[in-house]
Chain A
């Protein structure tokens, strides 16, 4: 029996010939990530352990991105813990405000993750890096503490669900729509504890940015990781970025899958997930008149160049609805600069949107756009749980940047074709 790409990467990092789903392994990690919310408890536990030095000062990334630029004194104290620890330990991949970005946009951009890597991060959306053919998964602060001390982490080898996407994507449909549609099909625990492997001709046609968006939301189906196979697009992306050697793994033709889904994309329209779970998906064309107060375009899901270009294509020459606030957050400083050079930032400002420094900010109800009681947002983020973006009685609808931009103009959830003919 062959192995899946996920099983092969785990086996290679555990020093084993092969692994089976359900097997408990101890694996070597290539990179461990923490942010301003999750790293401070990990650093405290690391220090309590009495280990003097981290396992490798070049294989730890610390990114203050959630409540930064610091939203209040307590958040400033948390960010300071990261800064001081990075300095004490000589951690090379610490990213200060002005040079940083949203962690899951930043790490691939900076060439810190490559094909075949095993990455853990104290952030649930660490699964994003699966777009590069890496095994990447979220863990908690205690696991991070143990990992930065030992360079290892224990795993239960997951079973894999294979998602094969066939056909041609409709206009305006991108990775975000495919993953929302998929979560709608299998539910928020449909891939609980499991690996989600994405392939098929519709996936080959997707940009890297769209693949990042899909892998990012594997966790919203309960997945342990989401993973893509390496192709020309992947190699183009890592070229000039990745400074380390990498290894390409591929699923064997006779690999064992717990389940296989064949999904026809020909009829999938732009998707919207209704409150309060990402599984409550509908095509935008099926929605009635849903007025909105705020739009957020950004996040580790949709804060990349493709997302900003799609939003700008729709917002060009348009005015944002007078009763709507639009907050656009480029994922990293580099994305911000590129968007500026392409004239996208001007388009956003002329339309009446605010453009923010990179931050997770409103996605998790941190800052930079918190909702009042009874308010409704449409966001390109990844979670629409109760109270996620602010007041427990506010609502978040999830969609891709095309629907978000069109809705900004219309003042209600709208299809892209309503604005751009």
Chain B
């Protein structure tokens, strides 16, 4: 999978409360959640983000609550991928489960600046910064997770296994 887009940058320890504040969790409609994506980190984000844009953040992205509404809001806002120095564990699982591409690359997180145009080869784990002419490596997924990603998320993967066992 190849993803290309313009970046929006955030700092370290971006928690799921700022990704999607709990005051909006009385629904799980992706369209409604998208309107408030990243609201408490950057109130203008939802208005400015364009389909295909990429979020780049520092360490421990998605820490805090287990709310899957966080990666859902990001995906529904049109964001094509999230690159971070590191991801909090539950967010990482949730993102893979719902089919939001995420890449762990401390090097990319440090070097990419807001507005840089980048191109990601998800399968190879390669991130090219077209603006700066730099290339960064991202951690690759274990084969088991690649299967979930290839299936389009956990539920299609489980559905296939359920069908096989019947």
Listed in ascending order, the chain A residues whose CB lies under 8 Å from chain B are 24, 37-38, 40-41, 44-45, 48-51, 66-67, 71-72, 74-75, 78, 121-124, 126, 138-143, 145-146, 149-150, 154, 188-189, 192-193, 219, 222, 224, 277, 364-366, 383, 385-388, 392
Q: Complex Cα distance A142/B41, Å?
A: 25
- In the bound complex, residues from chain B placing their C-beta under 8 Å from that of A383 are 15, 17, 64-65
Specify the chain B residue showing the minimal Cβ separation from A40.
Answer: B28
Contact B88 A140 (CB under 8 A): no
Contact B60 A189 (CB under 8 A): yes
Residue of B67, B158, B161 touching A37 (CB-CB under 8 A): B67
Residue of A67, A154, A365 touching B21 (CB-CB under 8 A): A365
Contact B66 A122 (CB under 8 A): yes
Q: What are 8 sample pairs from A and B whose C-beta atoms fall under 8 A apart?
A: A24-B142, A49-B159, A140-B67, A140-B97, A143-B154, A150-B162, A219-B64, A364-B65
- In the bound complex, residues from chain B placing their C-beta under 8 Å from that of A121 are 66
- In the bound complex, residues from chain B placing their C-beta under 8 Å from that of A67 are 25-26
Contact A154 B89 (CB under 8 A): no
- In the bound complex, residues from chain A placing their C-beta under 8 Å from that of B154 are 142-143, 146
Interface readout for B26-57 with A: 1 if CB under 8 Å, 0 if not?
11100000000001110100000000000000
Residue count of chain B within 8 Å CB distance of chain A: 41
Q: Complex Cα distance A365/B161, Å?
A: 39
Contact B68 A388 (CB under 8 A): no
**A364-B22, A392-B40 known; 4 other A-B pairs, CB under 8 Å?**
A138-B66, A219-B90, A365-B21, A386-B17
Known: A138-B90, A140-B93, A192-B89. A49 touches B63 (CB 8 A): no
Residue of A72, A126, A193, A387 touching B89 (CB-CB under 8 A): A193
Listed in ascending order, the chain B residues whose CB lies under 8 Å from chain A are 13, 15, 17-18, 21-23, 25-28, 39-41, 43, 59-60, 63-69, 86, 88-90, 93-94, 97-98, 142, 144, 153-155, 158-159, 161-162
Contact B27 A189 (CB under 8 A): no
- In the bound complex, residues from chain A placing their C-beta under 8 Å from that of B159 are 49-50
Q: Shortest beta-carbon distance, A75 to chain B, in Å?
A: 5
Contact B40 A386 (CB under 8 A): yes
Known: A145-B155, A387-B40. A189 touches B21 (CB 8 A): no
Q: Shortest beta-carbon distance, B135 to chain A, in Å?
A: 26
- In the bound complex, residues from chain A placing their C-beta under 8 Å from that of B21 are 365, 387, 392
Q: Shortest beta-carbon distance, B149 to chain A, in Å?
A: 13
Known: A142-B154, A188-B60. A41 touches B28 (CB 8 A): yes
